[in-house]
């Protein structure tokens, strides 16, 4: 966010149940369409490799990245 979004604030929310859910929201400009580069592409690929889902897009007032990953419990 600090490097690419042009944002001054970022919120990270993490929820853990049977999945790990991450929501990252920033207050960067929302008027520019996102062009997936190495960072967005590698986040999507890493999430898929772990069996999760991922999305990222501008939203009113900034940007939003959402990822859900399965949890593997051992013990």
pLDDT digits (tens, 9 = 90+) for 31-74: 667 777 788 889 899 999 999 999 998 888 888 999 999 997 66
What distance separates the 2 farthest-apart alpha carbons in the chain?
A: 48
Tokens coding 14: 């993490």
pLDDT at 7: 86
- Name the DSSP class of 8: S
With 0.85 as the threshold, say if the pTM is over it.
no
- Interval 6-34: pLDDT, tens: 788 999 999 998 899 999 999 988 766 77
pLDDT reading at 75 higher than 60 = no
pLDDT at 49: 93
């Amino acid at each position: 966010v600090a490097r690419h979004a042009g944002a001054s604030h970022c919120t990270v929310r993490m929820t853990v149940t049977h999945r790990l859910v991450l929501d990252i929201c920033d207050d960067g400009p929302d008027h520019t369409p996102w062009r997936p580069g190495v960072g967005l592409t590698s986040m999507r690929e890493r999430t898929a490799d772990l069996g999760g889902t991922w999305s990222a897009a501008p939203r009113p007032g900034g940007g939003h990245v959402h990822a859900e990953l399965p949890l593997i419990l051992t013990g």
